[in-house]
Amino acid sequence: MNLTHDQDRRRQRAPLIRPGRRHTRHRLDHLDRAFGRSTVPRTVYGYISLEGDDESAIERVHDLLTAHAQAEGLALKEIIVDRDTPPGRIIRAGLTVLLDTLLRTEGCGVLIAGPDQLSSIPAVRRTIQRQIENLGATVLVMPDTRTVERLPLLKPA
């Protein structure tokens, strides 16, 4: 895969925080200062994608995202929800709104409850993550969350 210099720099600047690893804001800030960069955005947008339209599941994940953002000192601007979304679908109404918002907002992130919130299919998940990162945003995955309805969260490598 050939990456342009800008894409390669964006990938280095915005790594995926994998679930299960305990990253405190202090540790991340320390690493940022050590490398002279900011990898954790302070402004984030939440994203929820479910195969069904269970409002209680949506509210539960919404509350988790809100509590996590508040605990980490992140400014959660909005939570965008895709209901009735098959895991193989890449083009989604809510995701399109999210990508459009990221296009207009510099230096922000996308907060998700688990990697399966993007898709339970790894190839689709990577594609969506690349779309987000190509717009200069960072994907932040909440650690140790077991709320995703599709599949258990992936274990860190």
List the Cα angle 65/60/139 in 5-degree steps: 30
For the stretch 54-109, pLDDT in tens is: 999 999 999 999 999 999 999 999 999 999 999 999 999 999 999 999 999 988 99
Is 156 among the domain residues? no
pLDDT for 144: 67
pLDDT at residue 127 greater than cutoff 70: yes
Is 32 among the domain residues? yes
Among 35-39, 105-109, 113-117, where is mean pLDDT lowest? 35-39
Q: Which two tokens stand for residue 17?
A: 């925080």
Is 81 among the domain residues? yes
Q: What is the DSSP letter of 84?
A: S
Is 10 among the domain residues? yes
Average pLDDT over the chain, rounded to an integer:
77
Is 58 among the domain residues? yes
Is 93 among the domain residues? yes
Is 96 among the domain residues? yes
CA 118, CA 50: separation in Å to the nearest integer? 9
Q: Is the C-alpha dihedral spanning 153, 56, 78, 103 positive or negative?
A: positive
| Confidence grade of residue 4 (pLDDT, cut at 50, 70, 90) | low
CA 102, CA 111: separation in Å to the nearest integer? 12
Residue 61 maps to which CATH number?
3.40.50.1390
pLDDT for 37: 45
Name the pairing type of β-strands 75-82 and 109-112: unpaired
Q: What is the largest CA-CA distance in the chain?
A: 44
Domain interval for residue 17: 5-141
Is 82 among the domain residues? yes
User: How many domains does one find in the chain?
Assistant: 1
